[in-house]
Amino acid sequence: MKEAAGIIAAAKPGFKPNVGIILGSGLGPMAQDVTDATVLDYRGLPGFPQPSVEGHAGLLSLGKIGETAVAVLQGRGHFYEHGRADAMKVPVRALHAIGCETLILTNAGGSLDPAMGPGSVMMITDHINLVQSSPLFDEAGNSRFVDMVGAYDAGLQQHARDAAQATGVMLHEGIYVWFSGPQFETAAEIRFARMVGGTAIGMSTVPEVILARQAGMKVAGFSIITNFGAGMSDTPLSHEQTMSVAATAAVELRRLLNHMIAGLGA
């Protein structure tokens, strides 16, 4: 991790980002909103995942959104690529090491709420780690016993609500349920996730939240809703469908996040 953090810090001397942002499927274009950007390829960063998923570029941009210094990761590693939850261990820890005290996570997800259709934006207020895997499985010592209560920072949630109001974005809120993927869920799994209190489902983000909380970073999470969960509608599920809807909903989340992040640096 130290090696990657050293390379990143050396790429922009004197620059210290406060906010790290991980862009999921469909939100990649938001990296264009970073001004005065220095862009690094994950291939030059030891321990960073080599993205295999369409829509995940594998680029890190250092620069500003408004007056806020940011490090934007375009693309993530997923549990379903190899069955390990630690794919983002080095990137999250490197962001913390170079100065990020806040981590904003985005993803594409399916909806469990009939009133939250494709194209919606949902702020994650809590999650259910249904996969029951952890990026901390191979760790020793007491720091692995991370307190996950209030993992999604209340202050950041309020910033997001204010930004939604200011930008006219309809912001849903709810519980994100992590499924491993890469297959989509069965209709019975979706009924189960609804029954246990889930609002959205997805295949990412939860490991990164655990890592960030262990590091003491404040966390915010957002899902772009690309579809209803399996069995809730007649539309067949596919990655192509996820990508095409994500692109539309991403416009709204991008507007909200730009406003929110610009306000965090002051």
Is residue 179 at the binding interface for ligand HPA, with CB under 6 A as the rule? yes
Closest CA to 171 of 96, 231, 121, 116: 121
Tell which positions 67-126 bind ligand HPA, by CB under 6 A. 108-110
- From the list 201, 204, 194, the residue with the least C-alpha distance to 237 is 201
128 CB neighbour count, 10 Å cutoff? 17
Residues known to be catalytic: 25, 56, 78, 80-81, 108, 203-204, 227, 239
What does R_g of the chain's alpha carbons equal in angstroms? 17
205 binds ligand HPA (CB under 6 A): no
Residue count, binding to ligand HPA (CB under 6 A): 14
**Using the rule CB under 6 A, which residue among 45, 227, 252, 260 binds ligand HPA?**
227
Least distance CB 195 / ligand HPA (angstroms): 16
Q: Can you tell me the distance from the alpha carbon of 120 to that of 111, in angstroms, rounded to the nearest whole number?
A: 9
The interface region with ligand HPA, picked from 129-137, 150-158, 196-204, 254-262 by CB under 6 A, is 196-204
DSSP assignment, residue 259?
H
Dihedral, CA of residue 40, residue 43, residue 48 and residue 50, to nearest 10:
120
Closest distance of CB 61 from ligand HPA, Å = 24
Q: Which residues bind ligand HPA (CB under 6 A)?
A: 108-110, 179, 184-185, 201-203, 226-227, 229, 237, 242
